[in-house]
Every structure is written in structure tokens, then in C-alpha cells.
Amino acid sequence: MSDYAADKVLDLKGLPCPMPVVKMSQEIGSVDVGQIIEVHTTDPGSLSDFPAWAETSGNEVLGSEQGEFIKIFIKRNN
């Protein structure tokens, strides 16, 4: 069970390089500042990519969960 209440869920499972980050950067504007996107992915690299992307875009990775697939919770900050 997640600690974060997502405002939007993005299913990015199985996408080729570099589409998960590209899609995320396109979708972040679809939620309001302060809202949370829950990303579903199968890419191990996303666990490093999304924090680095958040660092450069001024957004925030709140946390992640690993199970059948990876969930990453991203808060829009600007």
C-alpha cells in the first residue's frame, strides 16, 4: 500500500529508451503544482533516471515501490 495519494497514474511499462522520461516530462504539466503523478514502469534505470530528471526540472521524487513492476511517485513543484 502506497504512502502517497496519486492525482494521476501514468503507465510507462515496457516503453523503449528514452520514452519513460520523455512521456513524464510531457505529462508533468497535466497536473497542478503540488499534485502527484504515480508512474508505473518496468525499467530498473527509471529509479535513477527520474530522480535525476526531477533534479534538473525542479520537481520531486517522493519515493518508489518495487514489486511486480516499479512505482515512482513524483510531485510537481513548479
Partner 1 sequence: MEAKLKQELIETFGERLTKAAKMYLDNCSRCGLCIEACHAYASSPETRYTAVGRAQNIRRLYEEYFKKGKIAKKLNEAVELDDHWMEKVYETAYTCTGCRRCMTYCPFGIDTGVIQGIAKMLLITADQEPKTLTMLADMSIAKAKTIEKTKENFAAAAKNLEAEVLQRWRSEGGEEVVPLDVQDANVLYVALAGKHSIIPAAAIMNAAKEKWSLSYFEAVNFGAFVGNPAKTKEIAGRIIEEAKRLNIKEVVICECGTAYRVMKHMSGEKPFKVITFAELIARYVEQGRIKLDKSKLPAKVTYHDPCQIARQGGIYEQPRYVLGQLTDNFVEMTPNRQANWCCGGGGGLVAMGEKDFRMKSAKVKADQVKATGAEVLCTACENCHTQLSDLNEHYGLGVKVEYLSDLTAKALVQD
Footprint of partner 1 (CB under 8 A) = 14-22, 25, 42-49, 51-53, 55-57, 64, 66, 70
Cis omega (within 30 of 0) for bond into 18:
yes
- Could you tell me if 76 and 61 are in contact, meaning their C-beta atoms sit under 8 angstroms apart? no
The least distance separating partner 1 from the CB of residue 67, rounded to whole angstroms, comes to 8
Q: Which is nearer to partner 1, 30 or 42 (CB)?
A: 42
The set of catalytic residues is 17
Q: What whole-number distance in Å separates Cα of residue 16 and Cα of residue 3?
A: 29
Choice between 9 and 22, CB closer to partner 1: 22
